[in-house]
Structure 1
Amino acid sequence: MGKPMVLFLCTGNSARSQMAEAFLRQHAGNKYDAHSAGLNPQGVHPLTIQVMKETGIDISGHQSKSLNQYLGKTSPKWVIFGCEKAEESCPHVWPFSLQSESWNLEDPVDFTGDELEQLMKFRFVRDQIEARILDWITENRIDSETEN
């Protein structure tokens, strides 16, 4: 049996879900098949690419993906909603998904401020996401080991 699939969903698939996908691949890609998508793909935000590169993860080749790429074509074990809007718009997208979670992370794309303030917001959200990913991996370690 293959690795269990984890799908991170957000509104634009431009920041939060892209970061979560990249961190899960970085920290546990040998155990999980990480993907991300958005309700209304907006393209990967340049600051997302920049702040991830600061951690040594290059996502410059990533593209925003639509939720439609996955609907009816995949069976994720986990669906993790990065925002309330995504969760409210598709609460029962995968009725056969074993688990879903809501992380309700602040969207750094919506933050207004000067360039330095925006960069700081992206870094703050990035660090929150990495901590959530590391906690999630620890909490779900037994589940992933029983899959193999």
Structure 2
Amino acid sequence: MNILVLCTGNSARSILLESILNRFGEGRVTAWSAGSKPAGQVHPQSLRLLQAKGFDTSAARSKSWDEFEGPQAPVMDAVITVCGSAASEPCPIWPGAPVRAHWGVEDPAAADEADWDVAFETAYAQLKRRADAFLALDFETLDADKLRDRMNLIGQD
């Protein structure tokens, strides 16, 4: 299953979930992340957290969702948005994917630098729980409507 994880800046939450899905998906999932207004670099605390947890971050980069349009782009089976609700944060909409789900997480990058450790660990833990719940599904056999419903329920934890 090809999954695109979207948020606005593609520097923290979407990078975290992309990494989690690729590592723990064990070949069942290939995830990418992108932003509608990419920050241009991965947040340094995202990289520190992932590295501390044993993730390879050498390919992590903040990128535009434009990279996932056109005939050369991989076909997405699902799109997950991870924007939170603080400060009326805009959440990008991706047309065309058969399954769309929202797993909102508050932006840890918006926290004061003194609070980054806690904010990023909290976001990681929430995304990891949701990824684990998703990966526990027999998603290969679910039709698009049932998969969307289950994925949206996961996002409400």
Q: TM over 0.5: same fold?
A: yes
Aligned to 1:28: 25
Alignment of 1:1-148 (within 5 A): 4-42=1-39, 43-72=41-70, 73-83=73-83, 85=89, 87=91, 89-90=92-93, 93-95=94-96, 97-114=97-114, 117-139=115-137, 141-143=138-140
CA RMSD of aligned residues (A): 2.0
Stretches of structure 1 that go unaligned for 5 or more consecutive residues are: none
CA deviation profile, 1:88-111 (whole Å, cap 9, x unmatched):
x42xx322x120000111100111
CA deviation profile, 1:24-82 (whole Å, cap 9, x unmatched):
01101411111000111111001000111121112143111101101233421000001
Stretches of structure 2 that go unaligned for 5 or more consecutive residues are: 144-157
Seq. identity, %: 27
Q: CA deviation at 1:86?
A: 5.2
Q: Give the direction of change, closer, same or farther, for the CA distance of 1:12–1:57 in structure 2 (3 Å limit).
A: same
TM-score, normalised via structure 2 length: 0.78
TM-score, normalised via structure 1 length: 0.82
Name the aligned partner's letter for residue 102 of structure 1. H
Equivalences, count: 136
Whether the 8 Å CA contact 1:75–1:94 is kept in 2: the answer is no
Aligned to 2:150: none
Partner of 2:80, secondary structure, is strand
